[in-house]
Amino acid sequence: MAAADKKPVLLVIEDDPGLQAQLKWAYDDFEVVIAGDRDSAIAALRSEMPGVVTLDLGLPPDPDGTTEGFAVLDAIMALKPDTKVIVASGHGARESALAAIARGAYDFYQKPIDIDALGLIVRRAFNLRAIEEENRRLVASSSADKTVLGRMITGAPEMVKVARTIERVAKTSVSVMLLGASGTGKELLAKGLHDASDRANGPFVAINCAAIPENLLESELFGHEKGAFTGAVKTTEGKIECADGGTLFLDEVGDIPLPLQVKLLRFLQERTIERVGGRKAIAVNTRIVCATHQNLESMIAAGAFREDLFYRLAEIVVRIPGLAERHGDPVLLAKAFLKRFAAEMNPAVTGFAPDALAAIDAHDWPGNVRELENRVKRAVIMADGKLVNAEDLDLGPGEEEDADVLNLKAAREAADRRVIRHALARSEGNISSTAKLLGISRPTLYDLLKQYDLQT
């Protein structure tokens, strides 16, 4: 059968022989693969690369429970997170459904199974996965040296996808929450969202909730009237009011104390504020974008963050990958930082030595973009010659950790893409230089660029 005519693979994980046979022959549109336990399921996942999986939570050695089924779900999400998993169970259906969706399942179906109804869910899952695959292909074909949102330099598909999401939601009025580690560029993305929105001509006001003492934060956010407290010598507008007609960016929103969370929730519900010491309701039209590196779900469970406020702030959640996950970006960003800092501080510096580029590629970047920026800035100042070396960056050669892979073919393709993107970044898109770095001919490089939908 030709590749284009090959049927999509559906993996059915079910231990009941009768259901196995029934499901095996129920779906003519798919190549149905059967697995009855965890080991055979993971083996089939690796070898068959199914797009959709139906998973019975009651698997041996725990056929009357859900522990083994959830273990299989976790393994699928770890190995191939883009798989659409449809979970079926009769054990505590509502609780199991919520837990399964929270762990990455696409949908839930309660037993006893209706073949036609389940088939509809399966076909919908395959259609959605096909759309997602096409989106990933388009993102991967983006330029390896592209500025997105007007200000962010990235060539990593992971970050281009984030930027495209920001651009799509910018034209709406929904509240957006940016989740990511410190130094990943949350404020830069928030400003990009503001600039791409209908509020671009209004003010962009940012406040770091973790940097202001708790007893002053209320006044900073809501403002105060003259005489409201000792030292309040004049009426002062708060950040929310200053952002009227524009965007308010609440960085580290998880650090807002509980009493103030109540007042912020009231503003989000009524869109009016009262200054500290005031009695007059002031209408404010501002869009809220917030960010945090904390796990707000855990804080909610611990009673440290209000669940109703979370859902008001997180109408759209955007997760920002760390710099180590953005293949090729460390070198692209390092070159941009070097150009800027050299012009300001040390014009004699013109670039990076090969050992510096290798060290940048290999480093884990726990401090993300902020760490990279600081290291390049220091290196430009301290460099003795024209080229910044690894010692100037205070980086050793480092070793890259082996990532979990699904199978050998996938590992080879991922490695090829990663190395080609790194080489393109180092050579600034020059084909001859890239081919030389990779030790291949120009025609071979062109073939690889076409095969992997990469552009210079």
CB 139 within 8 A of CB 155: no
Kindly report the length of the chain: 456
245: number of Cβ within 10 Å:
13
Given this model, what pLDDT does residue 245 score?
95
Query: Of 144 and 149, which is predicted with more confidence?
Result: 149
Q: Is 383 left (phi over 0), alpha (psi -120 to 50) or beta?
A: beta
Tokens of residue 408, six digits: 């050998």
CB 49 within 8 A of CB 9: yes
Given this model, what pLDDT does residue 320 score?
93
Q: For the purposes of burial, counting CB atoms within 10 Å of the CB of 13, is it exposed (0-12), middle (13-18) or buried (19 or more)?
A: buried
Q: In this predicted model, what pLDDT tens digit does every residue of 326-369 receive, in sequence order?
A: 888 898 899 989 999 999 999 989 888 878 888 898 888 999 99
Tokens of residue 422, six digits: 């790194």
Tokens of residue 153, six digits: 């330099």
Q: With bands split at pLDDT 50, 70 and 90, how would you rate the model's confidence at 438?
A: confident
Given this model, what pLDDT does residue 409 score?
67
Given this model, what pLDDT does residue 451 score?
78
Asked whether the predicted pLDDT for residue 385 surpasses 90, the reply is: no
Average pLDDT over residues 50-79: 89
Given this model, what pLDDT does residue 303 score?
93
Which stretches of 134-202 are assigned E, i.e. beta strand? 146-148, 152-154, 176-179
Pairing of strands 9-13, 84-89: unpaired
Q: In this predicted model, what pLDDT tens digit does every residue of 392-428 receive, in sequence order?
A: 998 865 444 344 455 666 667 777 877 887 777 777 6
CA dihedral 63, 66, 69, 75 (to 10 degrees): -140
Q: With bands split at pLDDT 50, 70 and 90, how would you rate the model's confidence at 250?
A: very high
Average pLDDT over residues 243-255: 95
Average pLDDT over residues 314-323: 92
Which residues are registered as beta bridge partners of 88?
56, 109
Asked whether the predicted pLDDT for residue 145 surpasses 50, the reply is: no
AA identity, residue 253: V
Query: Quick one: how many helices (H) and strands (E) in the chain?
Result: 18, 16
CATH number of 324-451: 1.10.8.60
Backbone phi, psi, residue 441, to 5°: -80, 165
Tokens of residue 57, six digits: 């939570």
Tokens of residue 367, six digits: 């401090």
Q: How far is CA 413 from CA 196, 267, 361, in A?
A: 35, 50, 18
Same-fold call for 3-138 versus 146-319: yes
AA identity, residue 67: T
Query: Of 321 and 226, which is predicted with more confidence?
Result: 321
Q: In this predicted model, what pLDDT tens digit does every residue of 82-124 receive, in sequence order?
A: 899 999 877 567 778 778 888 888 888 887 878 888 888 898 8
Given this model, what pLDDT does residue 402 score?
42
Given this model, what pLDDT does residue 22 score?
84
Given this model, what pLDDT does residue 19 score?
85
Given this model, what pLDDT does residue 421 score?
77
Asked whether the predicted pLDDT for residue 452 surpasses 50, the reply is: yes
Q: Considering only 27-31, 32-36, 314-318, 400-404, which range has the smallest mean pLDDT?
A: 400-404
CATH number of this structure's domain 3-138, picked from the four choices 3.40.50.2300, 1.20.1250.20, 3.90.1580.10, 3.90.950.10:
3.40.50.2300
Given this model, what pLDDT does residue 1 score?
46
What superfamily in CATH does domain 146-319 come from?
P-loop containing nucleotide triphosphate hydrolases (3.40.50.300)
Given this model, what pLDDT does residue 54 score?
93
Of 52-61, 224-233, 245-254, which has the strongest mean pLDDT? 245-254
Query: Of 79 and 193, which is predicted with more confidence?
Result: 193
Given this model, what pLDDT does residue 144 score?
39
Given this model, what pLDDT does residue 432 score?
81
Tokens of residue 358, six digits: 């290798």
What is the spatial distance between Cα 167 and Cα 145, in angstroms, rounded to a whole number? Answer: 19
The domain limits of the chain are 3-138, 146-319, 324-451
